[in-house]
Amino acid sequence: MTTHTTTPKTARTPTADTRPGLIGIPPHIGRALATGGGLLTIVSTFLAWTWTAEFPGDLTVYGYPGGLQVLVLIGGALTTLFGLASYGVKGLRLLAPSGADAAVRFTALAAFATTWYTITAISTQLGGLVNLEPGAYVAAAATLITLLGALALPFERPEPDPFDPDDTGWEKFRHTTAQNWQAIRAAFAPGTPRPVRALPAYAEILLIVAVLAIALTVFTYGIGTEYDELFVGFLIMAGFGFAALNASGLIPQITQITARHQNITICGAFLAAACFPFTQTDDQYATIGVYILIFATVALGLNIVVGLAGLLDLGYVAFLGVGAYAASLVSGSQSSPFGVHFPFWAAVLVGAAASLVFGVLIGAPTLRLRGDYLAIVTLGFGEIFRIAANNLDGTSGPDLTNGSNGISSIPDLKILGFDLGIQHDIAGFTIGRFANYFFLMLVITAVVVLVFRRSGDSRIGRAWVAIREDETAALAMGINGFRVKLVAFAVGATLAGLAGTVQAHVTYTVTPEQYLFAGTSPPNSAFLLAAVVLGGMGTIAGPLIGASLLFLIPNKLQFLGDYQLFAFGLALVLLMRFRPEGLIANKRRKLEFHEEAEAPAVLSKTGA
């Protein structure tokens, strides 16, 4: 006799095609709208958007995208690719290890925002919607359809919390708002990453090369934007594009690959950066490049103090000034009271040594303080340095810094007979003055990266991290907290002085007003600290990327005038809200800021 056992029926788990999206459109229709809308967006960029070439970028040409149309084309292409990946098209699933739906939402939002910003700018600048051609209306409709389809894609909704019957109307409103906000965050959150087959070593190295080439192209495009509207569109597309790649799981996967080949990645990054001056025809943007490297090098030095040791230093820019003043006084300037002209290597040693001495002198009596008290003392040191440099003019004090006029007419550097102040022809390329200093700062940045990496992996580096996490516990384990913090302070000050020696020769003049706590443009202490926090504390790439953004964006947003700092501050608030661990975060900080992230599993004996 055969017995049949029956299993109780359970509720069917909603599949990807039945789970609801943010709007009432069925998910399968939404996926088709998003993919088809992406294709239509691509087509619309080959149409004319306006009839006159008075709008920058010349959007009057049929069959050839220009200006902001190129950015919309990229957004439409990414939306189409991720849309096809969501269908499971073979070969495209590699673009979305964590699922493509969240990435489609971001890319659709990027294309929509860039398109409608362009249409608004055309209408405002040229005087009304009458200046739009049919291509603009097609692009507006296509991106709107794409966005609606993307919002209809399924996602895992969080379980709603029950209402408390004793809540007031305001508390119920806050409760409903919080639940809606959780649903929106879930809609744009990445899915569960799928296991990806490991690539051969040579394939991973080729992938790293491709990523570095794309990064160089994006950076060169951003720094070379010729007009304000194009840069704003670039920011929109780059921001949402980064979010899309992160939501798809592609950036975390590339991060794992670069971590396995860290030495190759670092060397490749410097080689890619060395190619930047060869992409420029004059010194206009190479000038921005060398200032970015100076700012990034100082930020990386501050990362030792703040990111590794956990010491909040609000006067760090003063060490940059000490190095710059020390180097300018011995570099043959006519404003220097010493009247000496040291060679470059000697001037570098003088600037670094002066900053080291000041770092020890300031750190020795103050590093026994913690937290806010230490921050206030370092802020005071930064202001004292600026005021002292302003008063050492021979009237209020000794004649050393020439007061508010500063040290001027600092001559260009000559290294082994190579004059960095004149143009040179290399392999058919003309390398100007700022390009020469760009290569010099690239070498100094490499030295700073090497010091940061070696010190961070050393015994003293582990002691810094222990002090940062819990100073009381570190002291109980036998770590000399004062000595460890003093070493961090001294190393960070030395690296800042090293960058200051080059800054003095690049700017020709060193004045006290260059070293404020806060101002409209970097470098200053507030921007340096923001670069470390924004980029990612305790990492190498984080402060470099953060410093690049914090220098480039204010430089390009000068057309906003009095609203520049408002827009910049609003962007920082949004970034810290959605990615508080920074753009490039280490695993520890990512787990600290995201409670929903799973802790790493303990390795078993078989998996070790």
Is 374 within 8 Å of 520 (Cβ atoms)? no
Task: Say whether pLDDT at 326 is over 60.
Answer: yes
Q: What is the helix (H) or strand (E) element at residue 419, kind and residue range?
A: strand 418-419
Give 418's strand partners: 415
* Alpha-helical regions (H) of 508-586: 525-535, 541-556, 564-578
Closest CA to 356 of 488, 493, 483: 493
Q: What's the rounded mean pLDDT across residues 476-502?
A: 87
Q: What is the helix (H) or strand (E) element at residue 476, kind and residue range?
A: helix 471-476
Please, what is the average pLDDT of the chain? 80
CA dihedral (460, 461, 464, 470) in degrees, to 10, reads -110
**pLDDT band at 296; cut points 50, 70, 90:** confident
Cα distances from 41 to residues 66, 70, 73, 107, 119, in angstroms, run 14, 11, 7, 12, 14
The Cα 150–Cα 32 span in angstroms is: 9
The residue type at 388: A
The residue type at 28: H
Q: What's the rounded mean pLDDT across residues 151-176?
A: 64
Length of the chain: 608
The Cα 168–Cα 171 span in angstroms is: 5
Closest CA to 106 of 20, 185, 223, 29: 185
The residue behind tokens 């055969």 is 2
Q: What is the pLDDT of residue 172?
A: 60
The Cα 247–Cα 241 span in angstroms is: 10
The Cα 350–Cα 329 span in angstroms is: 10
Q: What is the pLDDT of residue 6?
A: 45
Task: Say whether pLDDT at 528 is over 80.
Answer: yes
Is 543 within 8 Å of 300 (Cβ atoms)? yes
For the stretch 400-410, pLDDT in tens is 888 778 888 88
Q: What is the helix (H) or strand (E) element at residue 595, kind and residue range?
A: none
The Cα 382–Cα 493 span in angstroms is: 12
Closest CA to 149 of 197, 86, 239: 86
The Cα 416–Cα 169 span in angstroms is: 76
**pLDDT band at 42; cut points 50, 70, 90:** very high
- What's the pTM? 0.80
- Return phi, psi of residue 252, to 5°: -60, -35
The Cα 529–Cα 541 span in angstroms is: 15
Q: What is the helix (H) or strand (E) element at residue 21, kind and residue range?
A: none
Task: Say whether pLDDT at 94 is over 80.
Answer: no
- Range with lowest mean pLDDT among 164-173, 271-280, 316-325, 337-346: 164-173
Task: Say whether pLDDT at 97 is over 90.
Answer: no
The Cα 418–Cα 310 span in angstroms is: 41
CA angle 196, 199, 203 (to 5 degrees): 140
Q: What is the pLDDT of residue 5?
A: 45
Is 306 within 8 Å of 537 (Cβ atoms)? yes
CATH class of the domain at 281-524: mainly alpha
The Cα 13–Cα 436 span in angstroms is: 63
**pLDDT band at 427; cut points 50, 70, 90:** low
Report the percent of the chain where pLDDT is more than 90: 12
Is 118 within 8 Å of 57 (Cβ atoms)? no
